[in-house]
Amino acid sequence: MSVYQRRATLFLDLLGFRNLVRNGRESDIIDALNVSAHSQIQYKDAAMSDFDFRVTAFSDCIVSSVRLLARNNFMPAAFLASYGGRLALEMLTRGILVRGALTVGNLYHVEQAVFGPALIEAYELESQFAQYPRIVVPRKVYGNLNISLSITMGVEWFIEHPPCREDFDGMFHLDIFGPFYIDSRPRTLTLKNSRSIEDLGGVTTRLVRKLCKPKYKDHRISTKYEWLRYYLEDCGNRFGWKVGGRPRNAIFFRARKQKEGKVETELQKPTVNEAEI
C-alpha cells in the first residue's frame, strides 16, 4: 500500500535568507516565520476539514500542501494558490522576496516529515525555472486550475479573477498583485474605502519602489528587483495603475514579444549560482 496521497504542493524559498543570518537581522527572520504561522492558523481554520491543509517550515523553505480527493477538482489547489499569494505578499511587506512553485502529485506530508515526487518536482521547478521572485505553476496545473475555477465560480468571475499570469518567458506564475488575491492582501496593501483592483496601484507601487530603492552590484540580485519593477509596470498596463515614468524594463517586454520566435535573452537562462540566492 502506498504511503502517498495526491496533494497540491507549494514549495517556497525565502530569498536572501543567508544574508539575513550573516548580517544579524534575526528580527526579520522571526517576522517571516511568524507570518507563516499566522497565515497557517487562518487558513487551517478556513478549510482544514475540507482540504487537509498542512504546512512545514525548515531553514529558508516553507512547504504546504492540500489533499485532492476528486481527480478533476482542483479547487483545493486554488485554495493553496491563495495561501501562497498571501504569504508572498506578507513577506514583501517585510522586505523579503519569495520564489517558489505550485504543483500536484504524490506526497507524504505529516507533522514530522514531508517527502515525495510532488515535492521534488516543486523544488526543481523553483530552482530551475522560477529564477525571479515569482511562484511558478506548470502548464498542466494551470489548465486544470482554470477549469475548476470556471466551473465553481463561473466563467465571468474567472475572467475577471485569473489566478495566474503568463510571464515574458512563457512561464505561468501566481499573479499576486492581481484581483484573485485581493482578499489575501495584508492591511498595508489595501484601502479602507475600496476593494477595487484599479484603486490599489498606489499602495502597491509604493511598496515596490521601496523594495527596489537600494542598488545592488551583484547582477544576480539586481536582476530579481528589475523583474519586480517589470511586473509592477505590467500590472500598471493591465489594471490602469499610474506607476510613473517610462518603462525601464524594456528587455523583459521585448523578450515577451519575441518568445514565439524562441529568442533567448541573458535573463532567461537560470544558473546554479543564481538559484542559491
pLDDT bracket for residue 248 (50, 70, 90): low
**Domain boundaries in the chain?**
5-275
Residue with the bigger pLDDT between 26 and 199: it is: 199
**Pairing relation of β-strands 135-137 and 172-174?**
antiparallel
Identify which has the larger pLDDT, 266 or 218: 218
* Residue 119 · residue 77 · CB < 8 Å: no
pLDDT at 194 over 70: yes
- The pTM score is 0.86
Amino acid at 77: A
3-state secondary structure at position 168: coil
Band of residue 12 on the pLDDT scale cut at 50, 70, 90: very high
Q: What is the DSSP pairing of strand 135-137 with strand 61-67?
A: unpaired
What confidence score (pLDDT) does residue 126 get?
95
Say yes or no to pLDDT of 121 above 70: yes
The DSSP code sequence of 203-237 is: HHHHHHHHHH-S--S-HHHHHHHHHHHHHHHHHHH
Q: What is the pLDDT of residues 71-103, one digit of tens each?
A: 889 999 999 999 999 899 989 998 999 999 999
User: Which of 3.90.105.10, 3.30.2000.10, 3.40.50.300, 3.30.70.1230 would CATH assign to domain 5-275?
Assistant: 3.30.70.1230
Per-residue confidence (pLDDT) for residue 269, from 0 to 100: 40
pLDDT at res. 218: 86
The better pLDDT of the pair 4, 243 is held by 4
Higher confidence at residue 158 or residue 258?
A: 158
pLDDT, mean over the chain = 85
Question: How far, rounded to the nearest angstrom, does the alpha carbon of residue 27 sit from its chain's CA centroid?
Answer: 23
The more confident residue out of 218 and 276 is 218
Mean pLDDT lowest for which of 41-45, 112-116, 195-199? 41-45
